[in-house]
Structure 1
Amino acid sequence: MAGAIKTLKLLLTAACLALCAGTWLLSPAIAAGTVPGFNLTPQFDLTGKAAPGCRLFVIQAGTTATPQNAYSDSGLTQVLPNPLTCDAAARLPQWFVSDGLIKLRLTDKNGAQIFTGDNLLVVGPSGGGGGGGGTIDPTTIFQTGAFMQFYGTGILTGWVRCNGRTIGNATSGATERANNDIQALFQYLWFADTNLAVVGGRGASANADWVAGKQLTLPDCRGRVVANLDDMGNSTAGRLTPSYFGASGTVLGAVGGAENQTLTIAQMPSHFHSASIYDPGHVHGYTYPTNSGNTGGGGAFGNIPGTTVTSSAVTGVRVNSSNGLDTTYSTGGGGAHPIVQPTILATTYIKM
């Protein structure tokens, strides 16, 4: 009996292990991770002292300073401020990014660089297999600065509306979003489009303006459709020119076009006005003044009369000669006409 019980226990244990292993194998893959040494870990300056208030910039691999979102959860839904700030114990918070490579730059609280590293491997579950890379294609993830049109009007988590209002840090008083989670977009737009106004004027750097609590104006897509640059890294196509677009077609954020157009005479097609003249017949009167000084000289030219002409003609065309030019009388109102393409309205958002 004892042997049978022991055998049963072994069988139950094996079944349990198999079930647990199967459950683990069937669990959803989490394609997110972090970089060892920079997660819940104290940071130190170049002298070896703890660096409370230090800042970790999370940057897209292979770029100079293009921010990449970091998240507080492995599901990559809760965006963290960028840079991440160390606490009083110089410890960074827990953070996650999608699998792949990343660039990190660590500075002290005054901005002095402590560390920078590019193409650092993000270490995480990666679907549980290990060594096989991530299960999420990073090219399918929206990056900071990406446009999206959404069939709605309200606020979306992780996005702001391109409405020409402002963004800034939590104390900036920005009108569209005043929150520390907007820093990545603030810094991206500051570099990407120098024509975007900074309330109070542009400072020495994007980070300086951010820390100073300045407000950066968002692109203004209100009532506008989005078109592509006329060059986009290639030669100019000449499809959007200053003559007709109203601005350079190769400048990011340039705006042009109009809702309506009023034609000038020069823009009208060349044409003739058809007209018919009705003349039922008329008479001319002649007056011959006395030419007492003429004693003759012979021939048919002995007298040259002065002539007065009157007309009773009725015509079908009226002519205006008050300005010394013969023109037909004007007609039409000279108003503008619509030139709007078939359009449906939605809201354009930009990724934080």
Structure 2
Amino acid sequence: MTAVPAPISGLPRFKHGQVQYGAKAYVFEAGTTTPKLTYKDPTFSQEHTHPVAVDGEGNFPAIYIGEGNYDIRIVDGAGAVIGALNQLQGAVTEETEPPPDPEDVDATKLHQTGDMKIRYDSGVLQGWVRANGRSIGSSSSGASERANADSQALFLHLWAKDPNLTVLPSRGVSAAADWAANKTIALPDFRGRALVGLDDMGNTAAGLLTGVTFTSGSATTLGAKAGASTVTLTTAQIPGHTHTATSASAGGHNHTVTGTTNTTGNHSHTYTRPPGELDHPAGTNAGFETRGHNTTANTGTDGAHAHSVSGSTNTTGAHTHSINVEPAGGGEAHNNLQPSFLVSVYIKL
């Protein structure tokens, strides 16, 4: 008969968040108020008193129950019920059965050499090795992950399934010969990588890995490595877009001009005299001459001088000015990893 501890064994009892140091547990035959024997040990050699009280720290001691179902009522120091558990199963009678014959076990239901599994662990595991890119081999091989005779089956399996796995010092004519020569073979390396199914797996390629960068192998190669942890976008990969910009329009306007001309020094200006203008011969007071045609003459000289200038430019109307939009961005690579949870990958010896 297998002893079953009561579910309150070794636990404190709380009420409104406070430990009940005076708590007691009454154990009854299921569905009755008939007390049921309880024991301090799984061999049923020491009986508890009824009810069973918590210890000085507010914890119930170990409570073992005999055969048959039972109920528990828990009360505080004042006798008020603060908990109840009903129809709990007591000890069960063990049935003696012969151990299964190993030859009766279906081998297909067991792990086979080369099987892989995920485990929340990072250490070694009996019967398995970590798929970490280190090596396996015989006890004389000096392999870095496992050097033991129990690695032979996996050595032969990997040698046959993946010709790209490194065999040191070199790959020979057969897996058996390399094992006998105490060579090592590298394990598949899943460090920092996600698992992705082969694109074909015995079928035609699905084409779902088209355009993916492969650092080794291809979409239909067992053990191929693909993808990158960071990516720098090319110009062709950036979504098409435009930048718009205009300068402010000032409306129709002109500009006022003020200032002076340059000084050109002492000079005169030629001008044309109309017909009929009278002229005195040079240096005389008589002999006026009437001219019947245009003649030219020079103005007097006034020395070096400048002329003031004022006015405004023409009005050109509302207009804008062309501007340049400067490029932005640094072109750095961005992280390409999806939200992930890290575990260890093991492969069966």
- Kindly tell me: are residues 271 and 170 of structure 1, through their superposed partners in 2, closer, same or farther at Cα, counting changes over 3 Å? same
The letter of the residue matching 1:347 is S
Q: Distance in 2 between matches of 1:276 and 1:212?
A: 78
Q: Distance in 1 between matches of 2:223 and 2:113?
A: 16
1:331 aligns with 2:331: no
* 1:135-170 deviation digits (Å, cap 9, x = unpaired): x33222110000111000000000000000111111
1:30 aligns with 2:27: no
* 1:295-343 deviation digits (Å, cap 9, x = unpaired): xxxxxxxxxxxxxxxx9x9979742xxxxxxxx3110121222221221
Give the CA deviation at 1:31.
3.1
1 or 2, which has the higher strand percentage? 2
Alignment of 1:1-352 (within 5 A): 26-32=96-102, 99=103, 134=104, 136-241=105-210, 243-246=211-214, 247-280=217-250, 318-319=323-324, 328-352=325-349
Pairs aligned (count): 192
- Kindly tell me: are residues 173 and 314 of structure 1, through their superposed partners in 2, closer, same or farther at Cα, counting changes over 3 Å? farther
The question of whether the paired residues in 1 share the 8 Å contact of 2:245 and 2:323 is answered with: no
- Kindly tell me: are residues 271 and 161 of structure 1, through their superposed partners in 2, closer, same or farther at Cα, counting changes over 3 Å? same
CA RMSD of aligned residues (A): 2.6
- Kindly tell me: are residues 278 and 144 of structure 1, through their superposed partners in 2, closer, same or farther at Cα, counting changes over 3 Å? same
The letter of the residue matching 1:196 is L
Q: Provide the TM-score with structure 1 as the length reference.
A: 0.51
The question of whether the paired residues in 1 share the 8 Å contact of 2:139 and 2:148 is answered with: yes
The percentage of aligned residue pairs carrying the same residue is: 49
Q: Provide the TM-score with structure 2 as the length reference.
A: 0.51
- Structure 1: any 5+ residue segments left out of the alignment? 1-24, 33-98, 100-133, 285-310, 320-327
* 1:29-81 deviation digits (Å, cap 9, x = unpaired): 3231xxxxxxxxxxxxxxxxxxxxxxxxxxxxxxxxxxxxxxxxxxxxxxxxx
- Kindly tell me: are residues 348 and 316 of structure 1, through their superposed partners in 2, closer, same or farther at Cα, counting changes over 3 Å? farther
The question of whether the paired residues in 2 share the 8 Å contact of 1:229 and 1:252 is answered with: yes
The question of whether the paired residues in 2 share the 8 Å contact of 1:240 and 1:248 is answered with: no
Q: Distance in 2 between matches of 1:240 and 1:219?
A: 21
Greater gyration radius: 2
- Kindly tell me: are residues 161 and 278 of structure 1, through their superposed partners in 2, closer, same or farther at Cα, counting changes over 3 Å? same
* 1:161-192 deviation digits (Å, cap 9, x = unpaired): 00001111111111111111100000110001
The question of whether the paired residues in 1 share the 8 Å contact of 2:122 and 2:343 is answered with: yes
The letter of the residue matching 1:339 is N
Q: Distance in 1 between matches of 2:245 and 2:106?
A: 72
- Kindly tell me: are residues 254 and 317 of structure 1, through their superposed partners in 2, closer, same or farther at Cα, counting changes over 3 Å? farther
- Structure 2: any 5+ residue segments left out of the alignment? 1-94, 256-315
Q: Distance in 1 between matches of 2:195 and 2:96?
A: 44
The question of whether the paired residues in 2 share the 8 Å contact of 1:144 and 1:185 is answered with: yes
SS in 1 for 2:99: coil
Aligned to 2:37: none
* 1:173-225 deviation digits (Å, cap 9, x = unpaired): 11111111100000110001000011111011111111111110110000001
